[in-house]
Amino acid sequence: MKAGILSYGVYVPFYRLARAEMGKAWGIPALPGERAVANRDEDSLTMAVEAGLEALVGTDPASVDALFFCSTTAPYLEKQCASIAALALDLRPEVYTADFTGTTRAATVALRAALDAVESGSARRVLVLAADTRPGEPQTAWEQLVGDAAAAVLVDAQAPVAVLSLASVVSEVVGPWRRPQDRYVRSFEPKLETEYGYVRSTVQACRAALEKAGLGPAKVARAALYSPDLRGAAEVARQLGLDRSQVQDPLLLTVGNAGAAHALLVLAGALEEAKEGDRLLLADYGDGADALVLQVREPLPRPEGRRTLGQYLASKRDLPGYGAFASLRNLAGRPEPRVHSSPVTYWRDVAVELRWHGARCLACGVVQYPIPRVCRECGTRDRFQEVKLSRRGTVFTFTLDHLYANEYLDTPIPRAVVDLEGGGRAFLEMTDCDPQEVRWGMAVETTFRRLHEGAEFHNYYWRARPIRA
Mind listing the pLDDT tens digit for each residue in 268-323?
A: 999 999 999 999 999 999 999 999 999 999 988 889 999 999 999 999 999 999 99
Examine residue 142 and state whether it is found in any structural domain, yes or no. yes
Bridge partners, residue 257, by sequence: 146
Does residue 378 form part of some domain? Answer: no
Looking at the predicted structure, is the pLDDT value of residue 186 above 90?
no
Is residue 337 domain-resident?
Answer: no
Are residues 196 and 60 located together in one domain of the fold?
Answer: yes
**pLDDT exceeds 80 at position 52:** yes
- Report the CATH number that the domain containing residue 414 is assigned in CATH: 2.40.50
User: Within a domain: residue 372?
Assistant: no
Indicate the pTM of the whole model.
0.96
Q: Which amino acid is at 156?
A: D
pLDDT at 95: 98
386 is a domain residue: no
Looking at the domain assignment, is residue 360 inside a domain?
no
Is residue 186 located within the same domain as residue 323? yes
Q: Is residue 226 part of a domain?
A: yes
Q: Under 8 Å CB-to-CB from 278, ≥6 apart: which residues?
A: 221, 222, 295, 296
Containing structural domain, residue 20: 4-329
Q: How many alpha carbons lie under 13 Å from residue 466 in its C-beta half-sphere?
A: 17
Question: 294 with 348, same domain?
Answer: no
Regarding whether 433 and 293 lie in a shared domain, the answer is: no
- Which are the contacts of 122, defined by CB distance < 8 A and separation ≥ 6? none
Inform me whether the pLDDT recorded for 405 exceeds 80.
no
Task: Give the mean model confidence (pLDDT) for residues 144-154.
Answer: 97
Percent of the chain with pLDDT over 90: 87
* Distance in angstroms (rounded) separating the CA atoms of residues 289 and 116: 18
What string of DSSP letters covers 127-175?
Answer: EEEEEE-PPPPTTSHHHHHB--EEEEEEEESS-SEEEEEEEEEE-----
* Domain shared by 322 and 399, yes or no: no
For residue 118, what pLDDT is reported?
Answer: 97
- Do 123 and 262 lie in a common domain? yes
Q: Is 374 exposed, middle or buried (0-12, 13-18, 19+ CB in 10 A)?
A: middle
Of the pLDDT bands very low, low, confident and very high (cuts 50, 70, 90), residue 356 is very high
Residue 305 lies in a domain: yes
Whether residue 191 sits in one domain with residue 152: yes
Q: Identify whether residues 317 and 396 lie together within a single domain.
A: no
The answer to whether 7 and 301 are in contact (CB under 8 A) is yes
Q: Are 239 and 199 in contact (CB under 8 A)?
A: yes
Predicted local confidence at residue 325, as pLDDT: 96
Average pLDDT, whole number, for the chain?
95
Based on the number of CB atoms within 10 Å of its own CB, is 167 exposed (0-12), middle (13-18) or buried (19 or more)? buried
> Is there a single domain that holds both residue 303 and residue 347?
no
Q: What is the pLDDT of residue 189?
A: 82
Is there a single domain that holds both residue 292 and residue 229? yes
CA pair distance 299, 289, nearest whole angstrom: 28
Which pLDDT belongs to residue 172?
85
pLDDT at 406 over 80: no
Cα separations (Å) of 452 from 74, 280, 458? Answer: 16, 41, 6
Of the candidates 19, 46, 25, 24, the one whose C-alpha atom is nearest the C-alpha of residue 432 is 46
Q: How many domains does the chain have?
A: 2
Give me the CATH number covering residue 30: 3.40.47.10
- Are residues 317 and 196 both part of a single domain? yes
How many C-beta neighbours within 10 Å does residue 343 have? 12
Grade residue 333 by pLDDT with cuts at 50, 70 and 90.
Answer: confident
Run of H or E residues at 278: none
* Same domain as 147, residue 205: yes
Q: Is the dihedral of CA 322, 323, 329, 332 positive or negative?
A: positive
222-231 pLDDT, tens digit per residue, is: 999 999 998 9
pLDDT one-digit tens code per residue, 257-281: 999 999 999 999 999 999 999 999 9
| Res. 68: pLDDT tops 80 | yes
Buried b (16+ CB within 10 A) or exposed e, 301-312: eeeeebbbbeeb
According to DSSP, the β-strands at 222-225 and 279-285 are parallel
